[in-house]
Each structure stands twice: as structure tokens, then as C-alpha cells.
């Protein structure tokens, strides 16, 4: 049986894929970023709580369509573009920080 990967689709539902996700995210914080994001890797090292909320996406379009925003730390350019186009209030100090501390990340 070939290995499958659990990904989150554009509509926000999980599905099995034969291809590994290219982006990781945190469903609690609604942030996505690179798989090698320093903030995400640090959060994973801190414990299992973060890992319980970890999701994966095939591409950026799926993450955005599912309602996730780019990580300010590992995807600075995409985050700035997202920030400029969103209609919410101006960024607050610390926005992009991981909910458990330790900087922005997924």
C-alpha cells in the first residue's frame, strides 16, 4: 500500500494525497508557512500541543482559500502582500507571533 499524506484542502476539509504537502500550518492560529519555518520547528520542539494543531497544504492557494494567512517570519513577502490586501485593522505589535510565544510561525 503506497504512503499517503493527510492534507487540508481549499474548502477546509482533510483528504489523503499521494504527494507530501509543501506548506505546513497551525489550525488554531490559522497561519501557514514553509515546512522549515524556524518558529514552527521551535514550537514542535516545545511539545505535543503544537503538533496536535498542525496541518499541511499542497500549495499556497489551498492555504489561503482555507482561511489561513502567511507566516510573518518565514514568508515575509507573502505576509506583507496579504496584510496590504486584507481589510482588517492595522497590524498590532506582536502580530504573527505564535499563540504559545516564540515569534511568528506556523
Query: What is the rounded CA–CA span in Å between residue 105 and residue 33?
Result: 7
Q: Residue 99's closest CA among 33, 39, 57?
A: 39
- Which pTM value belongs to this model? 0.79
**Residues in Cβ contact with 93 at an 8 Å cutoff, skipping those fewer than 6 apart:** none
Domain extents in the chain? 5-85
Kindly state the DSSP code that residue 97 receives in the 8-state scheme.
Answer: B
pLDDT attached to residue 90 = 54
Q: Are strands 69-70 and 31-34 parallel, antiparallel or unpaired?
A: parallel
Per-residue pLDDT of the chain (106 residues; tens, 9 = 90+): 889 999 999 999 999 999 999 999 999 999 999 999 999 999 999 988 888 999 999 999 999 999 999 999 999 999 999 999 986 545 544 444 443 334 455 6
SS3 81: helix
pLDDT attached to residue 1 = 81
Q: Residue 76's closest CA among 91, 88, 57?
A: 91
Domain 5-85, second-level architecture:
3-Layer(aba) Sandwich (3.40)
Amino acid at each position: 500500500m503506497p504512503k499517503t499524506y493527510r492534507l487540508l484542502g481549499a474548502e477546509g476539509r482533510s483528504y489523503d494525497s499521494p504527494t507530501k504537502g509543501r506548506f505546513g500550518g497551525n489550525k488554531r492560529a490559522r497561519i501557514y508557512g514553509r515546512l522549515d519555518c524556524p518558529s514552527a520547528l521551535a514550537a514542535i520542539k516545545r511539545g505535543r500541543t503544537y503538533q496536535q494543531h498542525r496541518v499541511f497544504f499542497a500549495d499556497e492557494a489551498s492555504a489561503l482559500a482555507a482561511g489561513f494567512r502567511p507566516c510573518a517570519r518565514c514568508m515575509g513577502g507573502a505576509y506583507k502582500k496579504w496584510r496590504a490586501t486584507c481589510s482588517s485593522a492595522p497590524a498590532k505589535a506582536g502580530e504573527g507571533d505564535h499563540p504559545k510565544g516564540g515569534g511568528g510561525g506556523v
